[in-house]
Structure 1
């Protein structure tokens, strides 16, 4: 049977994509290199949202846990409100970029690409987020934003549709800026004392990994894996992270938060020929299995901390979007697959956006 024209065109675009990236030493998992859907509706109005004002000042923000004890688990409503106000342009920018890339992936409409290019170029040309970080929260905002921008941008960079072909100058500008942010992020999160290496370091490592692929910087890839391996050594025999257990009533929540970037790093490492899942006797599997087993009853974390666990984070599906990626690393049983299916589509801005789009096809056995 002769393949249809659409199949032939897809195969041709895939071959061209492989050729285009043949010289690249680093690449993302296959889900990040999918062609977009072809549902362009020329009659549809696509209005690019206004670009949030680039944040060019000192990264000096209040912590939402300001005034809390050493557990850093009690929210300060006034400080949280101030934090949200201070960082609204940054988080709005993260959301805008992610949503536009998702819209492009679902439609193939090049107008969404133009939105992303213009938006990120504006921040790159302004040197946004490259100022000094005055405190821990400032450093945190930089690496979170970097994770959002790079994990979205690389989908355009590696698409077989070559959506950035008409934007060579802007692509160079954005890539240079992301590289600059990554250099700052790497310097801020390396060589920390072990008692300070926690979920923040893991998210910094994920930002470095996604940017390593965008910029083809092996040093960032290596720095990311170094933090990942430190994280794996922190996982104890029972699957707990001692530094996250300190968060008392939020220990379960922070274990769930900590694993998200680690799963992404492991997937990106595997895509580049490095299998890190065996580290510390399969520590990542222990960590994930403990979290998943506790989704309906976090008693293990209550027993470890001596306090009832706050499960409010489970009300937001973005906090479980990592499960789509997890099922690429581990064989997921029927019960977990059913839980994931019921939650779809799962999205998380800082891990690449539409996680169901990026991983579900392969997860469901269609790739």
Structure 2
């Protein structure tokens, strides 16, 4: 699930990582209108990755991931350092794809739709970091584009209501983040509906049945499903005991996955620690969970970049 980095961004990203700021801005990459992604699991539980199919998918979505990463790097640099060049780099890249109709073309598969909604989530959250520096013309172009992507995401989601698992939660984050930066109440309401549905899926023990069904990836997908819910809760300023239960269930299984191993009947892929989204949860929750700092590299472009750097759309406890 890691984003890749194109050679054209090497200097920009190296400077960002080493110095915390960007020293140059490459020209925006060519606009990608159509996405031709593919499914890459080989079993009915969607738990075993076919490496050939995975490689094909990664090649197909690489230009989109590189674009998102570049926007996020520049946006994060501006929030840290407030150098106008960084803000204009992020805004310039956003406007280039807005003007070119980025990702508004053909989505050949459900995996293509998934890629677009993950990208919309990251773009809206990165835009939130630089929105204050945008000119009126930039705001008009970029926000109109984000709304078009959000409307398409809603239409697809509403037409495919069969399985409301982690994909629905990520759709909810994409729409909620778009609502936060555009002021569209209907997007925020859609996100709240998603959140309420997700809370209804969380069991008394904190588990999610649709993620338990992922067999050997059940723990990984509990963690992946919780990530957008944690950010949506912060954007909408919601506290919910069931979300707390999910986060604690997931944390307990990171420490000792025996519970999920018993529930699924198979061993789990165990991460070394809680994912970095725990920093977002701890900033907003009434009772933070972590007893250790977030990872030094807390990057996820789909969540707006550096998760240790509070996003302007978050509601931080006590602020």
Give TM class, smaller chain: 0.7 to 0.9
Q: Aligned equivalents of 1:75 and 1:358: distance in 2? A: 34
The alignment covers a number of residue pairs equal to: 296
Q: Aligned residue for 2:291?
A: 337
Q: Of 38, 52, 59, which residue of structure 1 is paired with 2:29?
A: 52
TM-score, length basis structure 1: 0.76
Contact 2:91 2:130 in 1 (8 A): no
Q: Of 186, 192, 206, which residue of structure 2 is paired with 1:219?
A: 186
Flag structure 2 segments of 5+ consecutive residues without an equivalent.
1-20
Q: Of 33, 37, 41, which residue of structure 2 is paired with 1:61?
A: 37
Name the SS for the 2:93 alignment partner: helix
The answer to whether 1:245 aligns with 2:222 is: no
Q: Aligned equivalents of 2:170 and 2:147: distance in 1? A: 16
How many angstroms does 1:114 deviate by? 1.3
TM-score, length basis structure 2: 0.87
Q: Deviations over 1:217-253 (max 9, x none)?
A: 1111111111111111111111111111111000000
How many angstroms does 1:345 deviate by? 5.1
Larger Rg, first or second structure (1 or 2): 1
Contact 1:345 1:355 in 2 (8 A): no
Q: Of 149, 152, 162, which residue of structure 2 is paired with 1:184?
A: 152
Q: Of 115, 137, 154, which residue of structure 2 is paired with 1:169?
A: 137
Contact 1:49 1:96 in 2 (8 A): no
The answer to whether 1:121 aligns with 2:95 is: yes
Q: Aligned residue for 2:236?
A: 269
Over aligned residues, Cα RMSD in angstroms?
Answer: 2.2
Q: Of 242, 246, 249, which residue of structure 2 is paired with 1:283?
A: 242
Q: Aligned residue for 1:27?
A: none
How many angstroms does 1:60 deviate by? 2.6
Query: Judging changes above 3 Å, is the alpha-carbon distance between structure 1 residues 45 and 146 closer, same or farther for their aligned structure 2 residues?
Result: closer
The answer to whether 1:99 aligns with 2:73 is: yes
**Residues 8-27 of structure 1: matches in 2 within 5 Å?**
none
Q: Deviations over 1:264-311 (max 9, x none)?
A: 1111111xxxx3x33xxx211111110111222111110100000012
How many angstroms does 1:363 deviate by? 7.4
Contact 2:68 2:122 in 1 (8 A): yes
Contact 2:117 2:170 in 1 (8 A): yes
Q: Aligned equivalents of 2:53 and 2:234: distance in 1? A: 36
The answer to whether 1:199 aligns with 2:199 is: no
The answer to whether 1:86 aligns with 2:60 is: yes
Flag structure 1 segments of 5+ consecutive residues without an equivalent.
1-43
Query: Judging changes above 3 Å, is the alpha-carbon distance between structure 1 residues 45 and 248 closer, same or farther for their aligned structure 2 residues?
Result: closer
Query: Judging changes above 3 Å, is the alpha-carbon distance between structure 1 residues 263 and 232 closer, same or farther for their aligned structure 2 residues?
Result: same
